[in-house]
Amino acid sequence: MLKPIVVAQRYVDNPLLIQGRKFGVRLWVLVTGHSPLRVYMHTNGLALFSSTAYAAGMPDADEDGAQMLGHVTNYAQNGASHDKCCFLL
């Protein structure tokens, strides 16, 4: 029987910025036991950056309803941008 995949995240209103852009770091781990705790972390990670600069108070959507790219670090939404948004760690 497959166990569910769990993802935990929340929106940060006052984010840390790197060169004016929001970013996120993805790390992959495998938990094989809890007593004792046994966790394996993959050797690579992924740093995701918004494709445009972040501005506080910027609206969540433009006139067309699209997400403002300064608030989004999702590769699927930023991937079409000409700027790099993802880096393998």
Distance CA 42, CA 84 (A): 23
pLDDT tens, position by position, 16-61: 898 888 888 889 999 999 999 999 999 998 888 877 777 776 555 5
Length of the chain: 89
Beta-bridged to residue 17, according to DSSP, are: none
Strands (E), 11-60: 23-34, 37-49
pLDDT of residue 37: 96
* Mean pLDDT along residues 60-77: 59
pLDDT of residue 6: 75
Residue 5 has pLDDT above 80, yes or no: no
pLDDT of residue 65: 44
Selection from 63, 65, 87 nearest residue 75 by Cα: 87
| Predicted TM-score (pTM) of this structure | 0.58
